[in-house]
Structure 1
Amino acid sequence: MSWVPVVVALVVSSVLLWPGSGARVRAARPARDGRGTASRGPGSAAAGRRRTVVASPGEVEAGLAELLSLVAAPLRVGVSPASSIAAATTAVADDRVVGELTSRLVDAGRSGDDVSEVWRDYEAGGEAAAFVARAWALSERTGAPLADALGAAEQVLRARQRTRQRLASAAAGPRASMMVLTLLPLSGPVVGLACGVAPRELYLQSPLALASLGLGLVLAFVAWSWSRAILARAAA
């Protein structure tokens, strides 16, 4: 059974070339006070602990948009920002995307710290949280209604989410083609066995056959990398 190592090598290569969805893990930094050190005031111990949030960009945008809608609603009837954030906390305290963020926002509101910095420092929110931080800071600098700024930010995040969903649907076909073409080399030994030809005779009988096997694996890797880069650029 000297052909077994060849089949094993092909299987391992296909697994390594399998198109993944990309890492989605982001570490959230602890909240910081005005001096740039981790906040250690009452009630901030849980918020200051480092957590790992596993969420896709679409999930982050959806969670932040929902939080913005909950905060903006009380603001429109004259409730203070700190009270609006505290009211929203009860609805999303257990949310894995924004639950920790709300506790930091509440602490910042109670202590009078810059709330926009809390949004900016929330790494689990990525670019979406940084965008909200800019909207919040712009409202504070210009005196524009905070409810309107957050409402506009919510609309932008929801539009981004819809665009991301459309791109994912459009890329589903090419991704399926990547999977099929990545696994296609495995059909060679199977077809050979079906025809009564052992993989050893296919790949190990001559240097030319062995070189063809190596060249095929290299080209498969190059094609997979190229296709993945094209899809990633299209989804950016």
Structure 2
Amino acid sequence: MTTRNSAPSAAEMELWPELIWQLATLVKSGLPTREIFAAARGYLHRPVPPEDALEKLLTATERRTVNTAIDDIEMLLTRCAQHTRYGLSAGQAIGSAMDAGLLSHEHSRLRAGELAACWKVSERTGAPIGDMLERLAEFLESEIDLHRARESAMSAPKATGRILSGLPLLGLGLGMLMGAEPLSVLFGSVPGVASAVIGVGLAWAGRVWTTALVAKAEVGQL
């Protein structure tokens, strides 16, 4: 099974608190554990493609990612429904699904691990699983808020990086318009060629460095 390790989108992240709130509601309704996971599958919904062609193009990648994440959740719920009917506890059933490598997204494996941990703690200590699931859902919602705040904060550095990457080309264009013949200066002598190579190298290094910094900031690693 293919593995996806890139940072999840907010839409993908939202699937898990929605699922966990639903599980908490089913638990508190008194439904037997062996029926909870099967019932939760009925509440999953896939994103509907937009009518507008431009919006459809812009959201196609995110919609595909969300659908793959939903596949992970459906597979997890199906496996847990089967195993709890055979007598396994919920924590064991979730752990079995993870051990089998059924979840393709790194984010799905992380959230499933947290879900399994809640159930195992409840099974060992007698703590109310419904309350534990609600606290986990609240925590995940706060994580989504932080994710959106980081995305908003990173929009300006991303735009600045793109603008700065294009400044050398803009400078060459302005020089040509002014009749300074920058290309003949750059490629007409050894010092000029050396300057061009160094300039391109520095511009590329700056672009890579800026991209790496923004990527780390987006996942909270700075």
Q: Common fold, TM-score beyond 0.5? A: yes
Do the aligned residues in 2 keep the contact of 1:65 with 1:154 (CA within 8 Å)? Answer: yes
Partner of 1:102: 74
The AA in structure 1 aligned to 2:134 is G
Tell me how far apart the structure 2 counterparts of residues 157 and 146 of structure 1 sit (CA, whole Å): 16
Unaligned runs of 5+ in 2: 48-66
How far off is 1:198 after superposition? 4.1
1:64 matched to 2:12 = no
1:182 counterpart (165, 169, 178): 165
Q: TM-score, normalised by structure 1?
A: 0.69
How far off is 1:119 after superposition? 5.3
| Structural mapping, 1:1-236, within 5 Å | 27=2, 56-92=8-44, 94=46, 96=67, 97-112=69-84, 113=88, 114-117=92-95, 118=97, 121=101, 122-124=103-105, 125-235=108-218, 236=220
How far off is 1:59 after superposition? 2.9
Q: RMSD over aligned Cα, in angstroms? A: 2.6
Task: Indicate the larger mover: 69-78 or 136-145.
Answer: 136-145
Q: TM-score, normalised by structure 2?
A: 0.73
Partner of 1:4: none
What SS does structure 1 have at the residue aligned with 2:81?
A: helix
Tell me how far apart the structure 1 counterparts of residues 189 and 70 of structure 2 sit (CA, whole Å): 60
Do the aligned residues in 2 keep the contact of 1:105 with 1:115 (CA within 8 Å)? Answer: no
Distance 1:157 1:163, change over 3 A: same
Do the aligned residues in 2 keep the contact of 1:89 with 1:103 (CA within 8 Å)? Answer: no
How far off is 1:176 after superposition? 0.7
What SS does structure 1 have at the residue aligned with 2:188?
A: coil
How far off is 1:53 after superposition? 10
Tell me how far apart the structure 1 counterparts of residues 82 and 162 of structure 2 sit (CA, whole Å): 52
Give % identity.
23
Tell me how far apart the structure 2 counterparts of residues 150 and 127 of structure 1 sit (CA, whole Å): 15
Unaligned runs of 5+ in 1: 1-25, 29-51
More helix by share: 2
